[in-house]
Chains A and B, each alone.
Chain A
Amino acid sequence: MDNLLIDNIRRRNRTNTRLKYIIIAGAVITVVPIFLIVGNLALKGYRQINLAFFTEPAPDTFQAMMAASSGEVIPGGIANGLTGSLLMVIIASLVSIPLGLMTGVYLYENGTKRYASFIRSLTEILQGVPSIILGIIAYLWVVRNITRGYSALAGSTALTIMMLPLIIRSTEETMKMIPVTIREAAFALGTPYYKMIIKVLIPVSFSGLATGVLLALSRILGETAPLMLTALGSPSVSLDVTRPVSAVPLLIWDFYNDPNMVNLVWSASLFLMVFVLSMNLLSRSIASKHKYI
C-alpha cells in the first residue's frame, strides 16, 4: 500500500517536472524566430547601408545587375521610399491624431451612454479590419473619385483609417486612468470645458497619448498591402500628393520581385525593421516610465 502511494507521488512529480521543461522549451522556441530574423537581416543587410542608401533613389534593374555581376555594392538607395513614407505618414498623422484625440475624449466623457458605446464598438470593429480592405476603400474613394489615379493622398487615406481607431482607443484608455479629482478641481475653479481638456486632460495623460501615437506610427510604417492598391510606387523622389509615390515597404516589395535587387531587400528590410522596432520599444519605455497616471 505504501509502495503504491510512493509510486503515485513519484509519477506525479515526474510529470510535474516534465511539464516545466516543456513550458520552458515552448517559450524559448517562441522567441527564437526574433533572433533568427534580426540576425539574418543584420548579417546580410549591413553591407548596403551607407550614406547613398539614404540619399539616392532606388536603382534600376540594369544598374543593379551590373553591380551584382561585378560583385560590387548595388548603387542607389531608398530615398524615394523614405520621402514617400514620410509624406504619407505625416498627412495621415495630421488628420488622425487630432480627430482620434477628440473622439477619444468624447468616448471618455460619455462613458456608457448608448451612442458612445455604439461608437466604441464600431471603433473596435474598425481596428480589426484587415489593412488590405482599407486599401480597397481608399482606392474606391480617392483613386477613383478624387485624384483619378494612384496617389500619395490615397495612400494616406488608407493609413489614416488604420491609425484612427488605434489613437481613439489609446486616448480613451489613458484618460480613464486620470483621477476624477483632477478634473473636478479644474471645474471647481471655473475652467471652461475646452480649457480643461487642453490644459488638464491632455497634459496629464501626455505620456500615454505619446505611447499610443508612437505605437500607431510603428504599425502603419510597415504597412505594405494597402499602399500597393493606392500609392502604387514611383521610381523617383516625389512630394506631389496627387501623384503616385513610393514607400519603404513598397520598395521592399519591388526589390523582392526583381532578382537583381535581392541584396537591397536585405538592407531595406533591416532598415525598416530597426526603425519600426525602435519606435515600438521607445513607446513601451515611455509607457513603463509613466505608469503612475
Chain B
Amino acid sequence: MSGDKVTKALLFLSSLTILLLSAGIVLSLTGGAIPAFREYGFSFITSTVWNPTSGSEEYGALPFIAGTVITSLLALLLCIPMAFSTSLFIAEYFRGTRTAGILRSLVDMLAGIPSIVYGFWGFYALRPLLISTGLTDQGFGIFTASLVLAIMIVPYATSLSTEIIAMVPSELKEAAYSLGATRREVIFRVIIPSARSGIVASFILALGRALGETMAVTMLIGNANIIPKGLFSPGNTMASVIANQFGEADGLKLSALIAIGLLLFAITALVNAAGKFIIRRFA
C-alpha cells in the first residue's frame, strides 16, 4: 500500500514541474523586463523609436507590435480561403475517399517542414517570383513574410476545422437536401452555421501560431525597425527583432528585448486561450 503512495507522490511531483516551469517563465520574463518598463513606463508600448546607439538609447516596442499584428492578420486572411477549401474538400466533397486522405497527408506535411527551410525557400524561390511581378523591387517585406506564414499555418487551421465540418450531423444536411437545396446551399446554410464556432476557433489557434513564428519571418520581412507603411514595406516583428538583436544585447537593450518577449508571451497566451475557450464552450 505504501508503495502505491510512493508512486502517486512521484507522479504528483512530476506534475509540479509544469507548475514550476510556468511560474518560472512568467517570473523570469517579468524580472528581465522590469528595467525597461521602469525606464520608459507605459510609453515602451506606444513609442516608435528604437535607437540602440549608446548615449542616446531609446526603446519603444510599437513598430514590432504593429509588425507582428499586421503580418499575422494578413497571413490569417490569406490562409482562410486555403484552409477553408481544403477542409471542405476533405470533409465534404471528397469525404472518405483516397484523394481526401492523400490531400490530408500533404497538408500535414506542410506542418512538418522546419521554419528555417520555409524562410530559405521564400528567400530564394518566392522572392524572385514576387520581384518579377513588378509589385516590389526588393521582394522583402510584410507581404512576402505573410504569404509564407499563411502557408505555414494552413495545416493548423485545416486539421481542426476538417474535424468539426465532418462532425456536422448528416440528418441536418439530408433535411436540407430533401428540401431541394444544392450542395452549395447546404454548405453555406447548414454546414457553416453549425460548424461556425469550431471553424472560428481553428483560425484563432492558427493565428496564435503565426504570432510567434520567428525564423521564416526574420528571413523575409526585411528587418527595418519601423511601422510598416504598406503591403510591400519592410518591417520587423516582435519575434524577429529578438532573433536579430538578442545576441549582441546587454543592459537596457537586453531588458527591452525581454520586455518584448513578455508582451509576445502575453499576446499569444491570450489568443490561444480565446481559441481554446471557444472550442470548449461551443464546439
Contact = CB atoms under 8 A, between A and B. Distances in A.
Interface of A: 12-13, 15-16, 19-20, 22-27, 29-31, 33-34, 36-37, 40-41, 99, 102-103, 105-107, 109, 115-116, 119, 122-126, 128-137, 139-141, 161, 164-165, 168, 192-194, 197, 218, 221-225, 228-229, 232, 249, 252-253, 256, 262, 265, 269, 272-273, 276-277, 280-281, 284
Nearest to A20: B93
Contacts of A126: 18, 21-22, 25
Nearest to B208: A128
Given A102-B14, A126-B18, A224 B116 contact: yes
Interface in B203-260: 208, 211-215, 218-219, 239, 242-243, 246-247, 257-258
B189 to A, nearest CB: 12
Interface in B6-21: 6-8, 10-12, 14-15, 17-19, 21
Contacts of B109: 34, 277, 280-281
A192 B7 CA distance: 9
B77 interface: no
A168 B18 contact: yes
B15 A228 contact: no
A130 B211 contact: yes
B117 interface: yes
Contact of A119 (B15, B93, B185, B242): B15
A109 B15 CA distance: 12
Contact of A269 (B107, B116, B261): B116
A278 B146 CA distance: 27
A30 B158 CA distance: 10
A136 B242 contact: yes
A34 B106 contact: yes
A23 B213 CA distance: 28
B184 A16 contact: yes
A115 B111 CA distance: 32
B154 to A, nearest CB: 6
A105 B11 contact: yes
A223 B112 CA distance: 11
Given A23-B93, A137-B28, A280-B109, A249 B88 contact: no
Interface centre among A132, A134, A139, A223 (most CB of B within 10 A): A132
A96 to B, nearest CB: 10
Interface string B83-126: 11110111001000000000101111111111111111101110
A132 B14 contact: no
A141 to B, nearest CB: 7
21 contacts: A12-B184, A23-B85, A30-B83, A99-B17, A103-B15, A119-B19, A129-B212, A131-B214, A136-B29, A137-B25, A140-B28, A140-B32, A161-B21, A165-B18, A193-B3, A197-B7, A224-B115, A228-B243, A228-B247, A253-B116, A269-B121
